[in-house]
Amino acid sequence: MDVAVFAAVFVVSLGASLAMLFARSAIHVALLLVATQVALAVAFLLQGAFFVAAVQVIVYAGAIMVLFLFVIMLLGVDRREALIEPLPGQRPLAIGLGVLLVLEILFASMRGLDLITSSRAGSEALAELNRDPGNVEALGRLLFSDFLLPFEVTSVLLVAAIVGVMALARRMGSAIIRGEESGPEEAAA
Amino acid sequence: MTRVDPGYFLALAGLMFSIGVVGTLVRRNAIVIFMFVELMLNAVNLVFITFARMHGELDGQVLVFFVLVVAAAEAVVGLAIILRIYRLRESANVDDVNLLKW
């Protein structure tokens, strides 16, 4: 049963991400990425990460991908992929290096195989953790004790991102808006 | 908990990461490149989850949580930059942004 689910996850996620390479339209790429992320959420479920799987679907496949689709729609669906290559031979080189990277990663995974095969105890420890306090409770305790400082720093990051995006996305150079904005500032000064 | 060996999950993550790298290098549309970056982040998330299972601890899952937040912030800021470039150049093609190129 588990093996069948994993095989489905493997086929869907790899197939969708390979199709991302060849999809013409940016919309198709976005939808294939959503398929990949949902398949990965199933892989998270298989490995006992219940909360992260839910967050993956809600935040990643939901919020972030909606943002991507929104921007694609805002800019207009652009089907033109540039055929002229400014750097000659870049694409074959990229594919060759990609194959090399696959071999490298698989080789490194093989070297660590003794670590992998001895992981049965860790798997059981995690299952026990998921049973007794529960996945969400254990995660929450960890997040608000050991990881409290990173958690708070994250909020600073989010505020910085919000302010930065508002500054970036504002239409500067438009005389009407600039006129409206300079009014209250001058009054305050 | 699944009986599938963690090595298979790591192999899947490695393959997906490599596809993300190739896509980032091959594609020209800035938004599509961004989506391949997200694919790489997803592959790394899978590695974190797999290691959390192998070690029987939840630290890896907490790290995935942080990766999610950083990915969201990065996507928002990056898309805003792409929006600015599009207004300036009328194109989302990365080859058109060559002002600093020698």
What was the ipTM of the complex prediction? 0.92
Number of domains chain B contains: 1
Residue type, A100: L
pLDDT digits (tens, 9 = 90+) for B45-55: 999 999 888 88
pLDDT digits (tens, 9 = 90+) for A141-165: 999 999 999 999 999 999 999 999 9
Tell me which residue of B74, B19, B22, B79 sits closest to A158, measured CA to CA: B74
Task: Considering only the beta carbons, identify the residue of A13, A72, A119 that sits closest to B16.
Answer: A13
The pLDDT assigned to B83 comes to: 87
Q: Is B53 exposed, middle or buried (0-12, 13-18, 19+ CB in 10 A)?
A: buried
The CATH number for A62's domain is 1.20.120.1200
Alpha carbon of A44: minimum distance to chain B alpha carbons (Å): 7
The CATH number for B72's domain is 1.10.287.3510
The pLDDT assigned to A45 comes to: 92
Residues of chain A with pLDDT under 70: 77-85, 112-119, 172-189
The pLDDT assigned to A160 comes to: 94
Residues of chain B with pLDDT under 50: none
Chain position carrying tokens 């959503």: A34
**Chain A touched by B71 (CB under 8 Å):** yes
The pLDDT assigned to B95 comes to: 79
Number of domains chain A contains: 1
- Domain boundaries, position A59: 1-80
Sequence-separated (6 or more) residues with CB below 8 Å from residue A40 = A9, A13, A56, B42, B45, B46
**Chain A touched by B44 (CB under 8 Å):** no
Note the pTM of the prediction, 2 decimals: 0.86
Helix axes B6-26, A2-22, angle to 10 degrees: 10
How many CB atoms lie under 10 A from the CB of residue B56? 18
